Amino acid sequence: MSSSTSDFVVDPSLKKEIGKFNKGLQDAFNQQDLSAIPLLFTDDATLLPPGHCEIVGRQAIAEYFEEVIEIGKEYGLQSRYFYDDYGVIMKDSMYFMSGRYILHREDATVVDKGKYLSIAKKVNGQLQLYIDIANSDLKDED
Protein backbone atom coordinates (compact mmCIF):
# COMPACT_ATOMS: atom_id res chain seq x y z
CA MET A 1 0.00 0.00 0.00
CA SER A 2 1.27 3.45 -0.87
CA SER A 3 0.73 6.67 0.99
CA SER A 4 1.37 10.20 -0.14
CA THR A 5 3.84 12.52 1.54
CA SER A 6 3.70 15.87 -0.17
CA ASP A 7 4.03 14.99 -3.86
CA PHE A 8 6.19 11.93 -3.20
CA VAL A 9 4.95 8.37 -3.15
CA VAL A 10 6.07 6.27 -0.19
CA ASP A 11 5.87 2.60 -1.15
CA PRO A 12 6.96 -0.11 1.31
CA SER A 13 7.13 -2.66 -1.52
CA LEU A 14 10.14 -0.77 -2.89
CA LYS A 15 12.15 -1.82 0.16
CA LYS A 16 12.53 -5.32 -1.27
CA GLU A 17 13.95 -4.02 -4.55
CA ILE A 18 16.24 -1.55 -2.77
CA GLY A 19 17.26 -4.18 -0.23
CA LYS A 20 18.37 -6.44 -3.06
CA PHE A 21 20.29 -3.56 -4.63
CA ASN A 22 22.00 -2.67 -1.32
CA LYS A 23 22.92 -6.32 -0.78
CA GLY A 24 24.50 -6.37 -4.25
CA LEU A 25 26.56 -3.28 -3.38
CA GLN A 26 27.52 -4.71 0.01
CA ASP A 27 28.48 -8.08 -1.50
CA ALA A 28 30.51 -6.46 -4.30
CA PHE A 29 32.45 -4.41 -1.72
CA ASN A 30 32.95 -7.30 0.69
CA GLN A 31 34.06 -9.63 -2.12
CA GLN A 32 36.33 -6.89 -3.51
CA ASP A 33 34.61 -7.19 -6.90
CA LEU A 34 36.00 -4.16 -8.70
CA SER A 35 34.19 -5.06 -11.92
CA ALA A 36 30.74 -5.09 -10.24
CA ILE A 37 30.94 -1.92 -8.11
CA PRO A 38 31.12 0.66 -10.93
CA LEU A 39 28.15 -0.94 -12.70
CA LEU A 40 26.00 -0.02 -9.70
CA PHE A 41 26.51 3.68 -10.52
CA THR A 42 25.27 5.75 -13.46
CA ASP A 43 27.86 7.05 -15.93
CA ASP A 44 27.44 10.55 -14.48
CA ALA A 45 27.09 9.56 -10.81
CA THR A 46 28.43 11.61 -7.93
CA LEU A 47 29.82 9.97 -4.80
CA LEU A 48 30.15 12.05 -1.62
CA PRO A 49 32.04 9.90 0.91
CA PRO A 50 32.88 11.10 4.44
CA GLY A 51 36.11 13.06 4.72
CA HIS A 52 36.62 13.22 0.97
CA CYS A 53 35.83 15.63 -1.85
CA GLU A 54 33.14 14.71 -4.35
CA ILE A 55 33.92 12.02 -6.89
CA VAL A 56 32.18 12.41 -10.25
CA GLY A 57 31.72 9.80 -12.96
CA ARG A 58 31.73 6.04 -13.04
CA GLN A 59 35.45 5.78 -13.85
CA ALA A 60 36.47 8.08 -10.97
CA ILE A 61 34.18 6.15 -8.61
CA ALA A 62 35.77 2.88 -9.76
CA GLU A 63 39.22 4.31 -9.01
CA TYR A 64 38.06 5.51 -5.57
CA PHE A 65 36.72 2.06 -4.65
CA GLU A 66 39.91 0.45 -5.96
CA GLU A 67 41.89 2.56 -3.47
CA VAL A 68 39.45 1.88 -0.63
CA ILE A 69 39.52 -1.86 -1.24
CA GLU A 70 43.31 -1.90 -1.49
CA ILE A 71 43.59 -0.10 1.86
CA GLY A 72 40.85 -2.31 3.27
CA LYS A 73 42.73 -5.52 2.43
CA GLU A 74 45.20 -4.69 5.16
CA TYR A 75 42.41 -4.42 7.72
CA GLY A 76 39.92 -6.94 6.36
CA LEU A 77 37.24 -4.27 5.91
CA GLN A 78 33.63 -5.36 5.49
CA SER A 79 30.49 -3.27 5.08
CA ARG A 80 26.83 -3.56 6.01
CA TYR A 81 23.96 -1.39 4.80
CA PHE A 82 20.53 -1.28 6.37
CA TYR A 83 17.44 0.91 6.44
CA ASP A 84 16.28 3.24 9.13
CA ASP A 85 12.76 4.51 9.56
CA TYR A 86 13.04 6.79 6.54
CA GLY A 87 13.26 3.94 4.05
CA VAL A 88 12.54 4.54 0.37
CA ILE A 89 10.59 7.21 -1.45
CA MET A 90 9.95 7.20 -5.18
CA LYS A 91 9.14 10.27 -7.26
CA ASP A 92 8.74 9.80 -10.99
CA SER A 93 11.69 7.58 -11.96
CA MET A 94 13.95 8.63 -9.06
CA TYR A 95 14.41 6.56 -5.92
CA PHE A 96 15.37 8.39 -2.71
CA MET A 97 16.84 5.95 -0.21
CA SER A 98 18.17 6.46 3.28
CA GLY A 99 19.60 4.21 5.91
CA ARG A 100 22.63 3.45 7.99
CA TYR A 101 25.95 1.80 7.26
CA ILE A 102 28.72 0.17 9.25
CA LEU A 103 32.28 -0.35 8.04
CA HIS A 104 34.10 -2.86 10.23
CA ARG A 105 37.10 -5.15 10.33
CA GLU A 106 36.80 -8.93 10.13
CA ASP A 107 37.04 -9.04 13.93
CA ALA A 108 33.94 -6.76 14.09
CA THR A 109 35.89 -3.69 15.23
CA VAL A 110 33.95 -0.70 13.88
CA VAL A 111 36.04 1.56 11.62
CA ASP A 112 33.20 3.87 10.59
CA LYS A 113 29.45 4.06 10.96
CA GLY A 114 26.91 6.57 9.86
CA LYS A 115 23.99 7.29 7.64
CA TYR A 116 23.50 7.55 3.91
CA LEU A 117 21.16 9.22 1.50
CA SER A 118 21.15 7.98 -2.06
CA ILE A 119 19.31 8.97 -5.18
CA ALA A 120 19.06 6.20 -7.75
CA LYS A 121 17.39 5.79 -11.10
CA LYS A 122 16.74 2.97 -13.49
CA VAL A 123 18.98 2.80 -16.52
CA ASN A 124 18.01 0.14 -19.07
CA GLY A 125 15.86 -1.51 -16.40
CA GLN A 126 18.68 -1.67 -13.83
CA LEU A 127 18.73 0.40 -10.65
CA GLN A 128 21.91 2.53 -10.45
CA LEU A 129 23.13 5.13 -8.00
CA TYR A 130 23.07 8.68 -9.32
CA ILE A 131 24.06 10.55 -6.14
CA ASP A 132 25.34 8.75 -3.07
CA ILE A 133 26.24 10.60 0.13
CA ALA A 134 27.48 9.05 3.35
CA ASN A 135 27.82 10.94 6.60
CA SER A 136 29.92 9.49 9.41
CA ASP A 137 28.69 9.44 13.01
CA LEU A 138 32.27 9.31 14.27
CA LYS A 139 34.01 12.50 15.28
CA ASP A 140 37.47 13.39 14.04
CA GLU A 141 40.14 12.93 16.63
CA ASP A 142 42.04 16.20 16.45
In sequence order, what DSSP letters do the residues of 9-37 get, joined into one string?
EE-TTHHHHHHHHHHHHHHHHHTT-TTTS
Tens-place pLDDT, residues 91-136: 778 888 888 888 888 888 888 899 989 999 999 988 999 999 999 9
pTM score? 0.81
SS3 content of the chain, % helix, strand, coil (to 5): 25, 45, 25
CA nearest to 49, candidates 141, 136, 139: 136
